[in-house]
Amino acid sequence: MDQVTRQLERGFDWEGKISWRSKSGENITLQCRAMPYQAVGREPTHYVYVQDNPLENHIYPRGSVPSIRKGSYDLKSINSEGAQSARRQSLAKLHNLPLEAPITRVISLICAAQENSTGQVVQILDKVVDILRTTELYSSHLKADNLRCEDPVTSDLIGALITQGPVPVSTTRRSSNDSAAVKAAQALPPGAKAVFAMNASPQIKELLDSSLLWDFNIFRLEDLTGKRPLVFLGMNLLLHFDVHKTLGCDEKTLYNWLTVIERHYHVTNTYHNSTHAADVLQSTACFLERERIKRLLDELDEACCLIAAACHDIDHPGKSSAFLANSSNELA
């Protein structure tokens, strides 16, 4: 459970198998999933935990959720208590078989080795287990030695930006309801999908329609978002310039990255806060919309400009350069 807790505290979903001990003393392995629940731009407040019961899966027909009501049942077999009992016994026998994936065996051995190891070794093995649990086991990543900046915050932000989450692949046929939902999502105007996904108020949506105008009211957006305008305006502008397609990531990755960026801006600063970052980002987007600039820059150049504008004053202490220099601050 420590592995699950650490994964949730980082803001990521966890899915895997957990062994539970029954009242009779037997170990039962269940497929489980846990995910953090959080409001927009805030730390997780609740954890949602779901576990599958293998003895109940057989009573539902296969297919998507909207098609459950149309599923066909064998009424004779369902009403037959003997058939139900036989199925339960066969499922119980299948569940008790010594079936274990090699990766699960490796993780179990690592966890067993942690019990008699030192603190430093335990931390290293925790990182190994985290790597083995990821779905991107064979994906390429930037080496930490090649990062010029030794600041851990900067390294985490770069890693969050270049990491692409797993793309869900549907293995079942879409029902008519699913197809209608997909068509409705495709009919949305550019940038609207992210705004609706963040549950933005009608006032915020109306204000973001003018996000590419030079006289955009950034202070109005600051009031509507509770001094957290960077995520809303950032998603609107980054999706307008197709930054997620340029970087080869999904919209959720952009949203998570902007959330981390905004958290590292000090709300107590009167000037160098996330509102200032959003204002610079909006001004940069206005310049990028000019025809002369479009002829000079490609998609990657535009993405770099927008990203630099969003995080140019991250973690700013709110002091002047002279003050930081005279106080021998590392930022100077």
Q: Which residues are annotated as a binding site for Zn(2+)?
A: 276, 312-313
Q: Are 187 and 244 in contact (CB under 8 A)?
A: no
**How crowded is residue 40: how many other Cβ atoms within 10 Å of its Cβ?**
15
Taking the C-alpha atoms of residue 37 and residue 226, their distance in angstroms, rounded to an integer, is 20
3-state SS, residue 71: coil
- The amino acid present at 11, given as its one-letter code, is G
Q: How many residues does the chain have?
A: 332
Angle of the 251-263 helix axis to the 229-240 helix axis, nearest 10: 150
Please report which residue ranges of the chain form alpha helices under DSSP H: 2-9, 75-79, 81-96, 102-114, 119-133, 152-162, 176-186, 192-197, 202-208, 218-224, 229-240, 243-247, 251-263, 274-288, 291-296, 299-310, 321-326
Active site residue 272: yes
Strand order in the sheet with 27-37: 14-21, 27-37, 46-51
Which residue in 240, 244, 272, 316 is the catalytic one?
272
Q: Which residue has the tokens 């002829």?
A: 295
Written as six digits, the tokens of 264 are: 């590292």
* Intra-chain end-to-end CA distance of the chain, in Å: 43
Q: At CA 31, angle to CA 28 and CA 34, rounded to 5?
A: 120
C-alpha to C-alpha distance for 328 and 87, rounded to whole angstroms: 73
Helix runs in 168-320, H state only = 176-186, 192-197, 202-208, 218-224, 229-240, 243-247, 251-263, 274-288, 291-296, 299-310
Sign, CA torsion 16/20/26/31:
negative
Give catalytic residues, as residue numbers: 272
